[in-house]
Amino acid sequence: MRPEAPLAAALLLLAFATPALARGEVREVWHAAIDLEPGDRLRPQDVVAAEPRYNRRGYADAAENIAGQEVRRRIRAEMPIMERDIGPPLAIRASQTVRVLWKHAGATLEMEGRAVENGSLGEEVRIHNPSSSRTIRARVVGDGTAEVGG
């Protein structure tokens, strides 16, 4: 065997390994302790910290508190939880009747509309106005309530 072969193999391993693996670190990520359905709110007993089978990006890091987050996609028990599969609780759901407030110069107008998309507090969502058949954008300010700035 040529003396350069072990060195070349080590360099290839370092080049293709993730940074954590190259340093010998293994991080713990959140795994579902039970089957989780969309709309479920995560409780501490619903998740367990464990090393992932594969070191991929996008897992919810066990160092972060995810209790209170809402499940967006079905997650089977013992599977790692991806960051994209959870998020802040929804205050408005698509097709829900929404109270829309317009505030301008001290005056407030109120109307009802139908949400076109889901939204959490602080997010902007599209809302269909049935009386004018137009769609507007409004910021979610509470459960079932959105506000249009003036």
Same domain, 80 and 109: no
Q: Are residues 82 and 61 in the same domain?
A: yes
What is the torsion angle, in degrees rounded to the nearest 10, for the CA atoms of residue 44, residue 47, residue 49 and residue 55?
A: -140
Same domain assignment for residues 76 and 52: yes
Half-sphere exposure of 28 (CA within 13 A, CB side): 11
Alpha helix (H) residue ranges in 33-115: none
Task: Judge whether 70 lies within some domain.
Answer: yes
Asked, for residue 123, whether it belongs to a domain, the answer is yes
Domain boundary among 87, 106, 129: 87
68, 113: one domain = no
* Per-residue model confidence (pLDDT) at position 11: 46
Q: What is the pLDDT of residue 106?
A: 84
Confirm whether 107 is domain-assigned: yes
Q: What is the largest CA-CA distance in the chain?
A: 84
**Claim to verify: residue 72 and residue 97 sit in the same structural domain:** no
Select the more confidently predicted residue: 17 or 97.
Answer: 97
Average pLDDT of the chain, as a whole number: 86
pTM over 0.85: no
Per-residue pLDDT at 45: 96
Q: Given this model, what pLDDT does residue 55 score? A: 85
Residue with the two structure tokens 């969309």: 38
Boundary (domain end) residue, out of 87, 118, 137: 87
pLDDT > 50? residue 14: no
Among 87, 103, 136, where does a domain finish? Answer: 87
Question: Are 100 and 127 part of one and the same domain?
Answer: yes
Pull the structure tokens for residue 24: 């010998």
Question: 58-94 pLDDT, tens per residue?
Answer: 999 999 999 999 999 999 999 999 999 999 999 999 9
DSSP letter string, 39-69 = TPBP-GGGEEEE--SS--TTB-BTTS--TT-
Count of domains for the chain: 2
Contact 145, 98 (CB under 8 A): yes
Kindly state the tokens that stand for 87: 């998020």
In the predicted structure, residue 26 carries a pLDDT above the cut 90: no
Q: What average pLDDT does this structure show over 16-38?
A: 73
Kindly state the average pLDDT of the residues 133-141: 96
pLDDT at 22 over 80: no
User: 45 is in which domain, residue-wise?
Assistant: 24-87
pLDDT for position 4: 56
Q: Model confidence over 112-124: pLDDT tens digits? A: 999 999 999 999 9
Number of alpha helices (DSSP H) and beta strands (DSSP E) in the chain = 2, 11
Radius of gyration of the chain from Cα atoms? 23
